[in-house]
């Protein structure tokens, strides 16, 4: 008999499999997709992983060597700061017990993964700007990422799993949980032509949320969400959440909200694109402005570092006419945009030598855009210097305000990048304890059943601090695998 079945081949699933395998357990990992389309949402990420640490010296033994380290400042990021950030962005709706585990075990878990063979680096291109003296200052509490992004992360995970003897089976969709005398005793695999039962002492569910299911999105998030673009895998349709609920699992977390971002609106193949993956995001918006088709701003682009706002602004774009908006920059700001995103093949961009021409070409109301930019420029606090490495307080006192990084949009050519809403993952799932044991309706763990990753509800609500999803998947995947 199999000791442990893990369902789902993303970061959380492999972390669970590694933890169980290193204990000598016989582990079988089952994945719905074929190998060419496997590895869940994790494959589509940039690989950013939010951990608590004590600054650059504390990280040097786990990140790839880089000549820039000698001129780099990485502020310490304490567990207390991590917990405060989670509470801030979720407005206090994060589960305190899960949070306590995440913030204290994120760093040790990353070190554990590194010891197994996963590779990490400092994310210069995403989390720092080069200063005038040639040095770098990291910001926003998110400093470390996987070498090679999500693709590198999952290649490392798969390699380690093979070295540990994990039996990874692709094209193996799990449709049901086997229950005997109140204990989960295995799973049913059914590909439409062949049905079989696989028995195990423990089952760990790490099969994602329901973000790729438009009907479920419309039911739980709202009707407009049926039209959101799926950033990641098309296979996260919520089937295993439903299977767990069917045997008496409790719902956990916020089923009415999700992680969603500004996403390229008009490029062809802008869903589940395994070639471009995360490059379809548009995350340099804090230094520019975002307008709708009427030319009106509707969010504070500089409310905080991107890491604390990007996962909720997709929702705000979805609410605009046509579920479309445009990020606006001028020639001074254009060199500061992330090259991997704003210079990707087929990027949705309009360039023009005047604001009116830009508006007409982009399908924005010209009078509205000209009025917005004129008003915005006139309201900027010029007494504060522009500095994208810190919350500089350089404000434009308009409605809505821009609280930081307000720069004049005045130098041609002007640029408009079309964005829509890209959904990443849903925040609702099953309720677990801090070890990933799925809780039944009576509040007690369902024997033999664990959950990790997006399926574990309770950490996030309404918003999300960047990089905490991969961290949580690793932490609670490891915890589940340590008990299963």
Smallest CA-to-CA distance from 208 within 460, 37, 453 is with 453
State the DSSP code for 291.
E
- What integer is the mean pLDDT of 52-70? 97
pLDDT tens, residue by residue, 13-36:
999 999 999 999 999 999 999 999
- What integer is the mean pLDDT of 295-305? 98
What pLDDT sits at residue 71? 98
What pLDDT sits at residue 456? 96
Confidence of residue 284 (pLDDT cuts 50, 70, 90): very high
Quick one: what percent of the chain has pLDDT higher than 70?
100
Helix spans in 124-198 (H): 124-127, 149-163
Q: How far apart are CA 265 and CA 201, in angstroms?
A: 46
Where do the CATH 3.50.50.60 domains begin and end in the chain? Answer: 2-209+427-483
What pLDDT sits at residue 201? 98
- What integer is the mean pLDDT of 458-469? 97
pLDDT tens, residue by residue, 232-275:
999 999 999 999 999 999 999 999 999 999 999 999 999 999 99
Could you tell me which CATH number the domain at 259-422 has?
Answer: 3.90.700.10
Q: How far apart are CA 5 and CA 257, in angstroms?
A: 29
Confidence of residue 428 (pLDDT cuts 50, 70, 90): very high
What pLDDT sits at residue 280? 98
- What integer is the mean pLDDT of 371-381? 97
Confidence of residue 192 (pLDDT cuts 50, 70, 90): confident
The encoded tokens of residue 90 equal: 């979720």
Quick one: what percent of the chain has pLDDT higher than 90?
99
Distances from the Cα of 188 to the Cαs of 13, 429, 444, in angstroms?
18, 20, 24
* Least confident piece of the model among 52-56, 144-148, 188-192, 395-399: 188-192
Smallest CA-to-CA distance from 289 within 348, 371, 217 is with 371
**pTM for this structure?**
0.96
What pLDDT sits at residue 418? 98
Q: Do residues 187 and 180 touch, judged by C-beta distance below 8 A? A: no
What pLDDT sits at residue 182? 95
Confidence of residue 333 (pLDDT cuts 50, 70, 90): very high
Fold of 2-209+427-483: FAD/NAD(P)-binding domain (3.50.50)
Phi and psi for 114 in degrees, rounded to 5?
-60, -40
**Measured torsion, CA atoms of residues 32, 33, 35, 36, in degrees rounded to the nearest 10:** -170
396 alpha-carbon distance from chain centroid: 29
Helix spans in 91-238 (H): 96-116, 124-127, 149-163, 214-220
Asked if residue 285 has pLDDT above 80, the reply is: yes
Asked if residue 1 has pLDDT above 90, the reply is: no
pLDDT tens, residue by residue, 70-81:
999 999 999 999
Q: Do residues 432 and 4 touch, judged by C-beta distance below 8 A? A: no
Q: How far apart are CA 238 and CA 266, in angstroms?
A: 27
Q: How far apart are CA 129 and CA 68, in angstroms?
A: 12
pLDDT tens, residue by residue, 144-185:
999 999 999 999 999 999 999 999 999 999 999 999 999 999
Helix (H, G, I), strand (E, B) or coil at 438: strand
pLDDT tens, residue by residue, 87-109:
999 999 999 999 999 999 999 99
Q: Do residues 457 and 469 touch, judged by C-beta distance below 8 A? A: no
| CB contact burial 55-68 (16+ within 10 A = b; e otherwise) | ebeebeebbeeeee
What pLDDT sits at residue 113? 98
Q: Do residues 106 and 475 touch, judged by C-beta distance below 8 A? A: yes
Q: How far apart are CA 470 and CA 106, in angstroms?
A: 10
Q: How far apart are CA 4 and CA 198, in angstroms?
A: 10
Q: Do residues 395 and 235 touch, judged by C-beta distance below 8 A? A: no
Where do the CATH 3.90.700.10 domains begin and end in the chain? Answer: 259-422
Angle 334-130-111 (CA atoms, 0-180°, nearest 5)? 120
Q: How far apart are CA 277 and CA 273, in angstroms?
A: 5
């Amino acid at each position: 008999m199999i000791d442990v079945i893990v369902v789902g081949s993303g970061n959380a699933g492999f972390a669970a499999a590694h933890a169980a395998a290193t204990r000598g357990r016989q582990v079988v990992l089952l994945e719905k997709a074929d190998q060419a389309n496997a590895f869940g949402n994790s494959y589509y990420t940039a690989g950013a992983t939010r951990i608590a640490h004590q600054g650059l010296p504390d990280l040097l033994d786990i990140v790839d060597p880089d000549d820039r380290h000698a001129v780099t400042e990485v502020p310490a990021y304490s567990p207390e700061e991590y917990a405060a950030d989670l509470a801030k962005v979720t407005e206090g709706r994060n589960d305190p017990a899960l949070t306590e585990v995440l913030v204290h075990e994120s760093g040790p878990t990353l070190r554990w993964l590194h010891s197994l063979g996963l590779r990490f680096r400092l994310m210069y291109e995403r989390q720092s700007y080069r200063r005038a003296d040639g040095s770098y200052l990291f910001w926003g509490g998110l400093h470390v990422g996987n070498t090679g992004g999500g693709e590198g992360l999952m290649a490392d995970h798969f390699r380690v799993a093979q070295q540990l003897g994990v039996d990874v089976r692709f094209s193996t969709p799990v449709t049901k949980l086997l229950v005997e005398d109140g204990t989960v005793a295995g799973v049913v695999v059914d590909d439409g032509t062949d049905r079989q039962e696989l028995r195990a002492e423990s089952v760990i569910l790490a099969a994602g949320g329901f973000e790729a299911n438009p009907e479920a999105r419309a039911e739980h998030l709202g009707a407009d969400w049926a039209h959101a673009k799926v950033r990641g895998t098309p296979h996260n349709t919520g089937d295993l959440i439903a299977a767990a609920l069917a045997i008496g699992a409790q719902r956990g977390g916020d089923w009415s909200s999700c992680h969603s971002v500004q996403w390229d609106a008009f490029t062809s193949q802008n869903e589940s694109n395994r070639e471009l993956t995360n490059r379809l995001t548009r995350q340099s918006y804090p230094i520019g402005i975002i307008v709708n088709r009427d030319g009106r701003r509707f969010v504070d682009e500089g409310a905080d570092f991107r890491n604390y706002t990007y996962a909720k602004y997709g929702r705000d774009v979805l609410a605009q006419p046509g579920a479309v908006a445009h990020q606006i920059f001028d020639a001074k700001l254009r060199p500061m945009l992330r090259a991997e995103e704003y210079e990707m093949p087929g990027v949705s961009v309009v360039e023009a030598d005047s604001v009116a021409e830009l508006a007409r070409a982009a399908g924005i109301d010209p009078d509205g855009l000209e009025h917005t930019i004129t008003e915005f420029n006139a309201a900027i606090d010029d007494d504060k210097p522009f500095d994208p490495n810190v919350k500089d307080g350089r404000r434009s006192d308009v409605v809505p305000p821009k609280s930081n990084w307000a720069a004049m949009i005045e130098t041609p050519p002007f640029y408009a990048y079309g964005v829509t809403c890209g959904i990443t993952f849903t925040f609702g799932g099953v309720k677990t304890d801090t070890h990933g044991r799925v809780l039944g309706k009576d509040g007690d763990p369902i024997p033999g059943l664990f959950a990790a990753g997006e399926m574990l509800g309770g950490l996030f609500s309404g918003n999300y601090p960047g990089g905490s999803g991969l961290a949580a998947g690793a932490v609670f995947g490891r915890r589940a695998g340590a008990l299963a």
